[in-house]
């Protein structure tokens, strides 16, 4: 092993978790290498997940906005686009993000090594490049930030040109008239919005009894209604028996006896941690059945010099949280322990059409805990800014304690929900009496704005008290 091949820390994976760790370690003066198995940085978040799906969703929502605005389509036909048409927009965003992230590593003098890593012993990894060459590197400590990939059951032929997962769907080169999406989690619901927004007949198969059951029930019901209203067929409590992929489409056989046929299938039911190629047995670590690693409060695995962050450790499996975990693990390595940890109330952003965001407790959680709460609501259709923008679908709901008026949860459905939520989150995170619903009544909002929904909802809630 040459001295040039030894580092203080080697980070495996350049997604948000790996990036956060590498940047934090570099700024702390550590000699850092980052291993990336693809030919550019950014990880699944940039190339197959968060960035492309949100770029696609934005393009589709703008088409819908144009076609629904009487000012634009009064004297002309509506705009149309296919999935392959809007992929170009997503790819341009990916390229911009990749160049941006590459610059971070360059400016912070991180050694960037492209290839697939596997452990040889406790302090050594072998990295195989795209041409098959193998180079060995050593480090005092390691951070595993290899992310996750779509779950692929063995009885589904993902090599068939009509069968896709949420990664390979970005290579879709034909324009289906009808798609079946199996799995109605966040990814499945987002892609259902995208394809239906493009005019594709969409069947959404949900293995549970309601859409996104972790959401507040009213928000979940609102999404179900708007999906139904847009023409998406939702089938709840269904599980597949088999998938028949043919030249002209796919037949999905359900255990309930139903049969469905479409031009293609998007299988979006679960994800698996990317740990199977790391040869973890060489360092005495074992992943669980979902490929995930168990870590302690400092993100250490069973081997104390090996840490893990991001999707590979499971919940919350969010790009935003992974970046924070990376920063915390850098603190743990550089200074002995992390100086902070993930906030308790992590906001959720779901980029369906309409958009959803929430933070804190749901009504069903508060009811089960017997916490005396009240509800303040604001409908977007009553806000001047929403009327101006023609965005009257949606609402904001604030849950607060009847006695202390402390904010317990905020749930938003509609345009820019994932942005609006942070106003409420900022107040929720305050200590003492600063995090009460009365803040929204006693402050002055710009008018007209979507943020004004907080003032309306707060007044509505306080008027319910007696």
Going by the annotation, the residues of the binding site for FAD are 36-45
CB of 355 closer than 8 Å to CB of 416: yes
CA atoms within 13 A on the CB side of 196: 23
Centroid of chain to Cα 135: 34
For 404, the 3-state DSSP assignment is coil
Centroid of chain to Cα 75: 39
Annotated binding site: 36-45
Strands annotated E in 296-439: 306-308, 348-350, 356-360, 373-379, 394-401, 407-414
Cα angle 16, 20, 23 (rounded to 5 degrees) comes to 135
In DSSP terms, 7 is beta-bridged to 139
Give the whole-angstrom CA distance, residue 168 versus residue 157: 13
437: nearest Cα among 465, 395, 417, 466: 465
φ and ψ of 327, to 5 deg: -65, -40
For 149, the 3-state DSSP assignment is strand
Give the whole-angstrom CA distance, residue 249 versus residue 337: 54
Tokens 């106003």 sit on residue: 423
């Amino acid at each position: 092993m040459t001295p040039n091949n030894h580092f203080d820390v080697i980070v495996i994976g350049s997604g948000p978790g790996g990036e956060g760790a590498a940047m934090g370690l570099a700024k702390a003066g550590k000699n850092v290498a980052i291993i990336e198995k693809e030919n550019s940085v950014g990880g699944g978040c940039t190339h197959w997940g968060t960035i492309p799906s949100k770029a696609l969703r934005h393009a589709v929502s703008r088409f819908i906005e144009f076609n629904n605005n009487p000012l634009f389509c009064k004297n002309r036909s509506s705009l149309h686009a296919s999935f392959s048409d809007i992929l170009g927009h997503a790819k341009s965003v990916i390229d911009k993000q990749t160049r941006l992230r590459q610059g971070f590593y360059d400016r912070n003098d991180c050694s960037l090594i492209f290839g697939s890593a596997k452990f040889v012993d406790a302090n050594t990894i072998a990295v195989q490049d795209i041409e098959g060459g193998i180079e060995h590197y050593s480090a005092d400590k390691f951070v595993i930030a290899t992310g996750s990939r779509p779950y692929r059951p063995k009885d589904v032929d993902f090599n068939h040109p009509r069968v896709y997962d949420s990664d390979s769907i970005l290579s879709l080169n034909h324009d289906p008239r009808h798609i079946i999406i199996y799995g109605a989690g966040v990814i499945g619901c987002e892609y259902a919005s995208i394809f239906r927004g493009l005019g594709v007949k969409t069947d959404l198969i949900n293995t549970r009894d309601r859409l996104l059951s972790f959401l507040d029930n009213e928000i979940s019901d609102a999404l179900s209604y708007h999906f139904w209203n847009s023409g998406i067929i939702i089938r709840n409590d269904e599980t597949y028996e088999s998938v028949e992929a043919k030249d002209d489409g796919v037949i999905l056989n359900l255990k309930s006896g139903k049969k469905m046929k479409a031009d293609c299938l998007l299988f979006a039911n679960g994800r698996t941690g990317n740990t199977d190629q790391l040869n973890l047995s060489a360092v005495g670590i074992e992943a669980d059945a979902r490929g995930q690693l168990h870590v302690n409060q400092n993100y250490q695995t069973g081997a104390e010099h090996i840490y893990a962050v991001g999707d590979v450790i499971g919940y919350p499996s969010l790009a935003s949280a992974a970046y924070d975990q990376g920063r915390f693990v850098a603190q743990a390595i550089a200074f002995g322990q992390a100086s902070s940890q993930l906030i308790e109330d992590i906001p959720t952003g779901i980029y369906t059409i309409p958009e959803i965001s929430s933070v804190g407790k749901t009504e069903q959680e508060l009811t089960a805990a017997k916490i005396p709460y009240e509800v303040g609501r604001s409908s977007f259709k009553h806000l001047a800014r929403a009327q101006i923008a023609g965005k009257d679908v949606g609402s904001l709901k604030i849950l607060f304690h009847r006695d202390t008026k402390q904010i317990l949860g905020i749930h938003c459905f509609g345009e820019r929900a994932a942005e609006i939520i942070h106003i409420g989150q900022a107040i929720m995170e305050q200590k003492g009496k600063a995090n009460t619903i009365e803040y929204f009544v006693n402050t002055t909002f710009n008018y007209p704005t979507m943020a004004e929904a907080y003032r309306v909802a707060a007044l509505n809630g306080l008027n319910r008290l007696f």
